[in-house]
Amino acid sequence: MKILFLTYHFPTPREAGAGRPWETAQLLRELGHEPVVITAGTHYMTGEDIRAHNKLLSVEDIDGFRVVKTFASAGYRRSITRRIMNYLAFAGLALAAGLREGRRAAVLMATDPMELGPVGVLLSAIKRRPLILDERDLYPDTAVALGYMSSPMAIRLLDRWQNFVRRRAATILAATPGIKRLLVAKGIDADKIFLFPNVRCFSAPARTSRDESIAPASWRGKFTVIYTGKFGQANELFTILRAAKRLVDESDEIHFALIGEGEKRAEYEQYVARQHLTNVEVLGAIPWDTVRNYIDSAQVGVQAFCNNSFWRCALSTKIFDYMLAGKPVVFAGEGDTADLINDARAGFVVRPEDHNALADAILRLYQDPAGGIAMGRNGLQYMSANFSAESSARTLASALHPVVQSFN
């Protein structure tokens, strides 16, 4: 069955970035379907133009997938106005590409409901095909939590519009239990919402021993605490940096590596320089295949969220990545991520934005390497039991079942 797959970003394992769209397309193919991908032509983290051809719609073959990349602005992160204009331009080009590519499509899937949800609804109406929405970030809730929206009227209007799109969808994939709870609270039918977490199902199995040779030279002989992901508004990396500042004089062996890209990278680098944090290095966006090797060579995975009740529904990919690599996790935050770590007995959870508690937890793991190894083993076993590639495929097959039946 041909599936028209609309997603703003589609990084391969050889590129930096979130793997959910790629993993979803891989699973669709494993289930016997034929996804045709429509995505933006600039990398969402670096802003680099990644089109093979300088056209409004550039068609490429990427590992057997037909991928249509649209023109998109490279500097869209510079302001909110640029972001809005970029998303509107992308939505228009995605609609044009969908009309051209969707002739034989049986199903439409949109992974960014705010900008691509309306495109999906239009294509669904024009082509008379069912629509599947992938809710990774809940809007307008996320925009409000990040401080991008404050007008009550604008928030109400966007919420109503988003709920209209959601009601038109045949099926919704929710990335976290919290997102599903919030959708149900908004009046969306719980029976059509399927929990589909951000797990990299095709990741290589974790190594049973640490391989120093794959780590950067600056990590050799160090107790490395790794962060991977966006340097944006949602992840509170200053909590991690302040923990590093407290630990810089307590041990010269504890080393922090922050890997990623985003609008706050320069701000973090300036803080590291001002505070003379010799135990911190800020790396840029790195292909996932390399990041996986770096996680394997680290001792601890770390994550921190802002002190905002909305982030209780967040469950980021990096937590699964750390656990799949058999690494203990230290997390500053609350909600679904905290519940996952505690249920798996895979690390320590501290209050959001509490850098001293975060530093204490990292110090405990440094002083008790055997305890950290045991936590890492717990996390890997929990992932194997609850988040296998097979279980993700079953969830996706269940979500597709009603639309597959209607097509047949």
Residue 28 lies in a domain: yes
Task: Provide the token pair at 39.
Answer: 């995505």
> Where does the pLDDT of residue 202 fall: very low under 50, low under 70, confident under 90, or very high at 90 and above?
very low
Q: Which residues contact 68 (CB under 8 A, 6 or more apart)?
A: 36, 37, 38, 39, 57, 58, 59, 60, 97, 101
Q: What percent of the chain has pLDDT over 90?
A: 54
For the segment 44-67, the average pLDDT, to the nearest whole number, is: 87
Q: What percent of the chain has pLDDT over 70?
A: 93
Most confident of 50-64, 77-91, 193-207, 356-370: 356-370
Answer with the residue of higher pLDDT: 364 or 56. Answer: 364
For the segment 398-408, the average pLDDT, to the nearest whole number, is: 74
Specify the pLDDT at position 46: 74
Would the pLDDT of 206 be above 70?
no
Residues 143 and 189 in one domain: yes
Specify the pLDDT at position 49: 82
- In this predicted model, what pLDDT tens digit does every residue of 183-199 receive, in sequence order? 999 999 999 999 998 77
Specify the pLDDT at position 216: 83
Residues 186 and 236 in one domain: no
- Mean pLDDT over the full length of the chain: 88
- In this predicted model, what pLDDT tens digit does every residue of 296-306 receive, in sequence order? 999 999 999 99
Specify the pLDDT at position 143: 84
Would the pLDDT of 352 be above 90?
yes
Residues 170 and 218 in one domain: no
Answer with the residue of higher pLDDT: 115 or 372. Answer: 372
Nearest to 292 by CA among 262, 268, 325, 316: 325
Residue 88 lies in a domain: yes
> Where does the pLDDT of residue 336 fall: very low under 50, low under 70, confident under 90, or very high at 90 and above?
very high
> Where does the pLDDT of residue 232 fall: very low under 50, low under 70, confident under 90, or very high at 90 and above?
confident
Would the pLDDT of 88 be above 60?
yes
Residues 186 and 237 in one domain: no
Specify the pLDDT at position 76: 65
Helix axes 20-30, 389-407, angle to 10 degrees: 60
Domain count, the chain: 2
Residues 166 and 250 in one domain: no
Residues 228 and 275 in one domain: yes
Residue 338 lies in a domain: yes
- In this predicted model, what pLDDT tens digit does every residue of 26-35 receive, in sequence order? 999 999 999 9
Per the omega criterion (within 30 degrees of 0), is the bond before 140 cis? yes
**Dihedral sign from CA coordinates of 100, 104, 109, 114:** positive
Residues 229 and 362 in one domain: yes
Residues 78 and 193 in one domain: yes
Residues 179 and 30 in one domain: yes
Residue 363, domain CATH: 3.40.50.2000
Would the pLDDT of 345 be above 70?
yes
Please give the residue range of the domain that contains residue 291: 212-386
Would the pLDDT of 205 be above 50?
no
The span from the CA of 88 to the CA of 91, in Å, is: 5
Residues 376 and 392 in one domain: no
Residues 188 and 288 in one domain: no
The span from the CA of 111 to the CA of 93, in Å, is: 16
Residue 206 lies in a domain: no
Would the pLDDT of 78 be above 80?
no
Residue 90 lies in a domain: yes
> Where does the pLDDT of residue 18 fall: very low under 50, low under 70, confident under 90, or very high at 90 and above?
confident
> Where does the pLDDT of residue 207 fall: very low under 50, low under 70, confident under 90, or very high at 90 and above?
very low
- In this predicted model, what pLDDT tens digit does every residue of 142-174 receive, in sequence order? 888 888 788 899 899 999 999 999 999 999 999
Would the pLDDT of 395 be above 70?
yes
Residues 360 and 263 in one domain: yes
- In this predicted model, what pLDDT tens digit does every residue of 239-284 receive, in sequence order? 999 999 999 988 889 999 999 988 899 999 999 999 999 999 999 8
> Where does the pLDDT of residue 408 fall: very low under 50, low under 70, confident under 90, or very high at 90 and above?
low
Specify the pLDDT at position 213: 55
For the segment 213-217, the average pLDDT, to the nearest whole number, is: 73
Q: Which long-range contacts (CB under 8 A, 24 or more apart) does 88-95 make?
A: 88/115, 90/8, 90/40, 90/115, 91/115, 91/116, 91/118, 91/119, 93/56, 93/57, 94/6, 94/38, 94/70, 94/119, 95/119, 95/122, 95/123
The span from the CA of 8 to the CA of 38, in Å, is: 8
- In this predicted model, what pLDDT tens digit does every residue of 384-393 receive, in sequence order? 888 888 888 8
Specify the pLDDT at position 204: 43
